[in-house]
Structures are given as structure tokens and as C-alpha cells.
């Protein structure tokens, strides 16, 4: 699949990065027009109206895809193997728009089984996917007394749909304490919450049946933090849920991604039909159980429900929002697949060592290949380590950008100087130290330019050059984002090369190379 990253900045700048190169344009979303706002409200309602959703989706598509960005997307989406569209946003009002309705005038992109549409939050790539014979899902529910009850049949139906492709453990009636206990005592690859949500929080059961205990997005993220086995969190509003403005689980998805959960599927509306929810979950978990990347699995599940009856006219298929913190989208490695490859390789090696002297030469070549793989792993680890530092530096730099957004006076200068001194002695120094460990020419060149921008900030602060400082801080931010893009592409290319070399090696071992 062709990779297509579209960065949408708060000021409207667009940056598209794909195998075709880099394209730049400016977004033209009519967010200030009342007609567009009204159309978005109707598209998010229970109204059965495909035309209004096509209208909103086309306006969103045209606002992003025009000029050079549209030309780049046309090439990427024309790949016979499909394309991955990753939307990268700064947050704010843009993140509240219904991007899952993107429509190119022919189809909704999020219902195309050849495509994968996600909201991507750049994070260090998680550890390699765990090996398992079947995904383990922990299904937790909460039904606080004052809110509409979750029908037991709904929980049973969801568990049955998941159980067709995964092993499932169900824990009902969760309070904050019992939810934490369930997560701590049940190792799982997928944590699926079914219950009520408000903007930025889960609504759990309290000490008595009359209590509702909100758990903030931050508290929930902290509950799952540091549990590498959890590769995916799914947040589902029950069919009876009534949601607050901004979405049932608005804000929770990004909070989880930032704690290094690789993927989050958050339902932005309540599912209004139990049968639709079942159909989505059945297809989604079937794809996950087959080892399909999560972004592809979500699009295929959307495709499955949108192609049923008149469901395309309803909002249900656009309810799942996928937040990604991994570029590959791969959550698990199936044990049967790995066992087949390893078993074949082991048999071939055993056969080889029993042959004549020619086998010794083959074994020597194999050792050289393994050494090359080890070197590739080390180089990849160095690049991913630098990328993690860049993300930390971006978070630090955002404080300077915010402080300088409306001009730099004496008070702003003192704040910027204080923050810069901490940043310069921390993440910036780590980046300087890491520069010597990078052997990739393009990544190193970008890093050197970034360090030069940081040096310019340091000089402007030292010389009280406020005008220069106002210029250099956003320039450093642009250089940092550009370097993140370059580094991300190089990491992706290194991973592709590493996988290809590994597959060639396995092919030789199994007698297919």
C-alpha cells in the first residue's frame, strides 16, 4: 500500500508526504460559514440522509485535496494495492470535524476496502507486535444507575461477536477501582470498553447505584499506561447512550495514544442499531484476528456495514474514529504464521549442516546475512531513538511557540528564556549528542539544519534580539516538523528493507530463494 501522510496545521498550511515526494497547499475548509456548520450538525444527527453526508464529505475533501496535494493523492490512491491516508492535525477545532465523511465526489474514502483512513498522532514506533495464536480481548462495561441501563443482551451480543475471532474475558459493572483491577489482572491485547461517555471522560459506576463516577481521559490513560501488551483500546457507547457535545469519547483517543497505546478506536456517536454494532465488531475482530493492520481492518468493517441495506444513508458507518500511534498499523503477529516460517527455516538449516563442504560456504553466507540484519536493527534503533527525541523536543518547543504567538515583550522574553534554558540543557543537548550516532545522510543533514535553528534561538536570547527570536522560534518548529517527516520516511524505508532482507533469508533457508 502507498503511504500518504497529510499534515494539517492550525493556520491552514497543508503538507502531504508520500512516495511521490512532498506537496504543499493551504486548506480551505469553510468552518466559519453557518451553512457548513449546520450541515455538519445534520450529518452527525440520526437523520437518514446520504446527500447531506456526501455534501459535508465533499467540502472537507475539496478543502484539503486541491492543487499539488490533489495530484499527489491521485497517484497514491491509484495504487492497485491501495493506500493509507493518515491525517495529522494539531488538534483544536479541526479535530472535531467529521473527517470520516471525506468524499471525493464518487465515494466515501472511509468505506473503501482498498484504503485505510486514520487520524495519526506521531509517536515513537511501539515495540514489535507480540506473538500470539489468537488476540486476547478484555471487554469491560459500566452502567451507572442514573444513566440508561446497558441491556445484558447487548453485552452478550458484543462478546459473541468478538469471540468468533478472539478469546474474550468479560468484566461487568466497572467502577474506577474495579476497572484498574481488571486491567491489572487480565493480560490482553485489546481493551474494549462498552458504556457511557462524555466529552473527555468515561462515566463509570460509583459507590452506590445512584452515583456516576467520571474518569477523565488523563486518569484512564494513566490506568493503561506502562502495559505494553495492550495494543488497541476500543471505546464503544452503548446503544442507549446520550452523548454530550464534542463526541462521546472526544479527547480520550489522543490521550491514550500519547501513553504509547498503538491504536484507539473511539465511537464518536452512540450506535443506534444493535445489529449494526454487531456487524461492525464481527467484521473488525475477524480482520484483527487474521493479523490485518488495524487501519485496514477499520475501513473493511466500515465497508461491510455501509454496504448493507440503506446503512450508507445513516451515520453508523462513520461512527468509528481511528487514532493511530503506529505507522504500520500491525498489532499482533500470529503464532501460526511465525511458526510456519521458523519451522521451515529450522528444517532447512538442519538439512544443510548434514551436507558436504558446500553447505559450510552457505552457512558462512548466512552468518554474514545475520550480521547485516543485526547492523540494520542497530541503525533502525538509532533512528527511532532520535525520532523519540524529536517528539520530546516538539512538545518543549510548543511552549516557546505559544509564548511568542502574540509578540515578545519583557514578560514573554523572561518566560521564553526560562523554558529555553531547560530545553537547551535537556532535549536539545540530547539531539546534539545523537547527531554523531546517525549514519543516514539525509536524516543527518536535516538534523544539522535543525541544530543550526536551535543555535540561532540561543544566540537571539543571548543578544536580546527580540525580532530575531520572533522569527527563529517558528522557523525552528518548521525545521523540526520537516525533520520528523524525513526521519519517519527513512525509518519506514529501513523497516521495509529489513523485512525484505529477512524474507529473502527465510526464502533461502526454506529452499525457495
User: Closest Cα to residue 288, out of 183, 100, 137?
Assistant: 137
Given the C-alpha cell 517528539, which residue does it identify? 391
Burial grade of 91 (CB within 10 A; 0-12, 13-18, 19 or more): exposed
Which tens digits make up the pLDDT trace of 152-167? 988 998 899 899 888 9
Task: Write down the pTM of the prediction.
Answer: 0.66
Which tens digits make up the pLDDT trace of 446-463? 888 889 999 999 999 998
User: Closest Cα to residue 446, out of 490, 393, 487?
Assistant: 487
- How distant is the alpha carbon of residue 233 from its chain centre? 12
Rounded to 5°, the CA angle 209-212-217 comes to 145
- How distant is the alpha carbon of residue 436 from its chain centre? 30
Q: What is the pLDDT of residue 129?
A: 62
CATH fourth-level superfamily of 131-292 = Flavodoxin domain (3.40.50.360)
Q: Mean per-residue pLDDT for 64-82?
A: 93
Comparing 131-292 with 336-513, is the CATH topology the same?
no
Which tens digits make up the pLDDT trace of 43-57? 988 889 999 999 999
User: Closest Cα to residue 57, out of 65, 47, 67, 69?
Assistant: 65
Question: Mean pLDDT across the chain, nearest whole number?
Answer: 82
Exposure letters 7-40 (e unless 16+ CB within 10 A, then b): bbbeeeebbbbbebeebebebebeeeeeebeebb
Q: How many CA atoms lie within 13 A of 352 on its CB side?
A: 19
82-91, 127-136, 306-315, 381-390: least confident range: 127-136
Percent of the chain with pLDDT over 70: 86
Dist. CA 163–CA 278, nearest whole Å: 12
Domain segments of the chain as ranges: 2-120, 131-292, 336-513
- How distant is the alpha carbon of residue 492 from its chain centre? 15
> Is the predicted pLDDT of residue 276 greater than 80, yes or no?
no
Q: How many CA atoms lie within 13 A of 4 on its CB side?
A: 25
Given the C-alpha cell 451515520, which residue does it identify? 315
DSSP state of 216: E
User: Are 149 and 240 in contact, with CB atoms under 8 Å apart?
Assistant: yes
User: Are 428 and 390 in contact, with CB atoms under 8 Å apart?
Assistant: no
Q: What is the pLDDT of residue 113?
A: 87
> Is the predicted pLDDT of residue 255 greater than 80, yes or no?
yes
Name the phi and psi angles at 302, rounded to 5. -60, -40
Q: What is the pLDDT of residue 384?
A: 79
Q: What is the pLDDT of residue 249?
A: 54
Q: What is the pLDDT of residue 141?
A: 93
Query: Which residues are CB-neighbours of 151 under 8 A, at least 6 positions away?
Result: 239, 240
Cell of 137: 480481548
**The domain over range 336-513 is classified in CATH as 1.20.120:** yes
Amino acid at each position: 500500500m502507498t503511504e500518504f501522510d497529510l499534515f494539517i496545521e492550525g493556520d491552514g498550511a497543508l503538507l502531504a508526504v508520500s512516495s511521490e515526494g512532498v506537496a504543499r497547499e493551504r486548506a480551505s475548509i469553510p468552518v466559519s460559514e453557518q451553512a457548513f456548520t449546520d450541515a455538519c450538525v445534520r450529518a452527525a444527527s440520526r437523520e437518514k440522509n446520504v446527500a447531506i453526508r456526501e455534501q459535508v464529505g465533499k467540502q472537507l475533501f475539496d478543502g484539503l485535496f486541491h492543487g499539488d496535494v490533489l495530484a499527489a493523492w491521485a497517484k497514491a490512491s491509484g495504487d492497485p494495492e491501495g493506500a493509507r491516508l493518515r491525517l495529522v492535525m494539531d488538534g483544536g477545532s479541526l479535530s472535531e470535524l467529521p473527517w470520516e465523511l471525506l468524499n471525493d465526489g464518487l465515494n466515501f474514502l472511509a468505506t473503501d476496502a482498498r484504503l485505510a483512513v486514520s487520524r495519526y498522532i506521531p509517536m515513537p514506533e511501539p515495540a514489535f507486535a507480540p506473538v500470539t495464536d489468537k488476540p486476547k480481548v478484555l471487554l469491560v462495561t459500566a452502567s451507572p444507575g442514573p444513566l440508561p441501563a446497558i441491556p445484558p443482551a447487548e453485552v452478550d451480543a458484543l462478546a459473541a461477536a468478538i469471540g468468533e475471532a478472539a478469546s474474550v474475558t468479560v468484566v461487568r459493572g466497572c467502577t474506577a477501582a474495579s476497572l484498574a483491577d481488571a486491567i491489572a489482572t487480565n493480560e490482553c491485547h485489546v481493551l474494549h470498553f462498552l458504556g457511557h461517555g462524555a466529552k473527555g471522560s468515561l462515566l463509570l459506576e460509583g459507590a452506590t447505584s445512584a452515583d456516576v463516577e467520571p474518569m477523565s481521559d488523563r486518569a484512564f490513560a494513566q490506568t493503561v499506561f506502562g502495559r505494553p501488551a495492550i495494543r488497541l483500546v476500543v471505546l464503544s457507547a452503548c446503544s442507549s447512550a446520550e452523548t454530550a457535545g464534542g463526541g462521546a469519547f472526544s479527547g480520550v483517543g489522543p490521550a491514550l495514544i500519547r501513553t504509547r497505546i498503538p491504536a484507539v478506536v473511539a465511537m464518536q456517536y452512540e450506535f443506534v442499531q444493535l445489529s449494526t454494532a454487531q456487524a461492525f465488531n464481527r467484521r473488525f475482530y475477524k480482520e484483527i484476528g487474521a493479523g490485518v493492520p488495524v487501519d485496514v481492518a477499520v475501513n473493511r468493517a466500515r465497508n461491510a456495514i455501509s454496504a448493507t441495506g440503506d446503512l450508507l444513508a445513516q451515520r453508523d458507518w462513520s461512527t468509528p474514529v481511528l487514532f493511530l500511534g503506529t505507522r504500520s498499523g500491525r498489532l499482533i503477529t500470529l503464532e501460526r504464521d511465525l511458526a510456519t516460517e521458523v519451522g521451515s527455516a529450522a528444517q532447512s538449516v538442519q538439512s544443510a549442516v548434514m551436507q558436504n563442504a558446500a553447505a559450510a560456504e552457505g552457512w558462512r553466507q548466512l552468518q554474514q546475512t545475520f550480521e547485516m540484519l543485526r547492523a540494520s536493527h542497530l541503525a533502525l534503533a538509532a533512528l527511532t531513538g532520535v525520532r523519540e527525541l524529536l517528539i520530546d523536543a516538539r512538545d518543549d518547543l510548543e511552549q516557546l511557540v505559544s509564548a511568542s504567538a502574540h509578540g515578545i515583550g519583557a514578560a514573554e522574553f523572561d518566560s521564553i528564556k526560562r523554558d529555553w534554558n531547560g530545553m537547551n540543557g535537556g532535549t536539545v543537548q540530547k539531539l546534539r549528542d545523537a547527531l554523531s550516532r546517525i549514519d543516514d545522510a539525509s536524516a543527518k543533514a536535516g538534523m544539522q539544519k535543525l541544530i543550526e535553528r536551535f543555535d540561532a534561538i540561543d544566540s537571539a536570547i543571548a543578544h536580546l534580539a527580540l525580532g530575531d527570536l520572533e522569527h527563529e522560534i517558528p522557523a525552528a518548529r518548521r525545521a523540526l516538523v520537516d525533520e520528523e517527516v524525513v526521519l519517519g520516511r527513512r525509518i519506514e524505508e529501513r523497516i521495509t528493507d529489513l523485512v525484505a532482507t529477512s524474507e529473502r533469508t527465510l526464502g533461502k533457508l526454506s529452499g525457495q530463494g
